[in-house]
Amino acid sequence: MIKMLNIILGAAMISLSAVGAETQKTQAQGPAQPVKGVVKSAVLNVRVKPGPRFSAVSKLKRGDDVAVLRQMKDWYEIVLPADASVWVAASQLKDGKTLSESKLRAGPGVAYEAYVTTVPVGIEVNVQDKSKPDWIKIAAPSTLTGWVSKEYINVSAEDAKKLEPDAAAAKPGDSKDVKTAAKDTDKKDTVDAAARPEDKKAKTADKEKTLPFIADSDKNVTLEGDIYPLDKKTAVYVTHALFKPQKNGDPVLVCYLHASKLSLAPWNEKSVQIKGKQRMVRKWKTPVVEVEKVTPQL
């Protein structure tokens, strides 16, 4: 599990640093038809990608049947269980159908890992939860896949021969491991005005590398939380986000950060206290803080 597994990017979603290139690479050819596998462990995690550190989105139990699509080293790609945690950006849905080819994620935000497979335009989905800002939980589409450890799946010898290992897929533990996967992104997820301004003033602000701040919304604040970087290529003005961990439940997005007098890079993925001036941005639910001071939290 990664530290950012339960982070919600909330109302304003800004793309984090990209490592999504493996998405297409792992769409390798498997057997013509899925082969049957049977779970042989008491509990087995189904993960977003092939590796023990990637997010678990469902659990299987001993005796459960699985449809195995292909093998990648010590992992089997399977048809995702119907109860898996699957989320899509609300901007990608209209009347219950996808507006474009959509990347799906393990949780409600771009900080959550993306599934290897995507869903094409026009697919009808079963909406399950609309309670999270800008994200919708859906039932797992029939084309969506997950990964399980090969060690805990029984497959007949004949069927095992049909499962050819795929050397092109992402390797657990390499540059696409969990630390980087927490920053996985796709342009289809960047629906916030920070990445795609919706009106003329916001577009002008984009060009000027600033934001349409609301007049008289300034106030001095002292805030605590964990800092995570945003994608420099798509984020406008802000460079980081601050999240407040919760003992029980998802961490909460506190604010976006900009620092003109100091560098926030040394504080990436660290718990800190920040002091600065908070301002609201037109059409954003989440404030932006101009950081003046950062101190570590133990």
pLDDT tens-digit series, residues 89-128: 998 898 888 888 888 998 888 878 888 888 888 888 899 9
181 found inside a domain: no
Length of the chain: 298
CATH of the domain at 287: 2.40.50
284 found inside a domain: yes
- Three-state DSSP at 47 gives strand
- Residue 54 to residue 49: CA distance in whole angstroms: 6
- Residue 35 to residue 78: CA distance in whole angstroms: 9
For residue 69, give the nearest of 181, 153, 177 by alpha carbon. Answer: 153
Domain range enclosing 26: 22-176
- Neighbouring CB atoms inside 10 A of 295's CB total 11
- Residue 55 to residue 47: CA distance in whole angstroms: 5
Per-residue pLDDT in tens (0 to 9) along the chain, 298 residues:
333 433 333 333 333 332 233 333 333 344 558 899 999 989 999 999 888 888 889 999 999 999 999 898 889 999 999 899 999 999 889 888 888 888 899 888 887 888 888 888 888 889 999 888 889 999 998 888 999 999 999 999 888 888 865 433 333 333 333 233 333 333 333 333 333 333 444 444 333 457 889 988 999 999 999 998 887 766 778 989 998 887 776 678 899 999 998 999 899 888 999 999 999 998 888 899 999 999 998 7
Q: What is the DSSP letter of 267?
A: G
Instruction: Specify the pTM.
Output: 0.49
Could you tell me if 170 and 26 lie in one domain? yes
Domain count, the chain: 2
For residue 156, give the nearest of 77, 73, 68, 72 by alpha carbon. Answer: 68
pLDDT tens-digit series, residues 213-239: 998 899 999 999 999 888 776 677 898
Q: What pLDDT is recorded for position 249?
A: 66
Q: What pLDDT is recorded for position 80?
A: 92
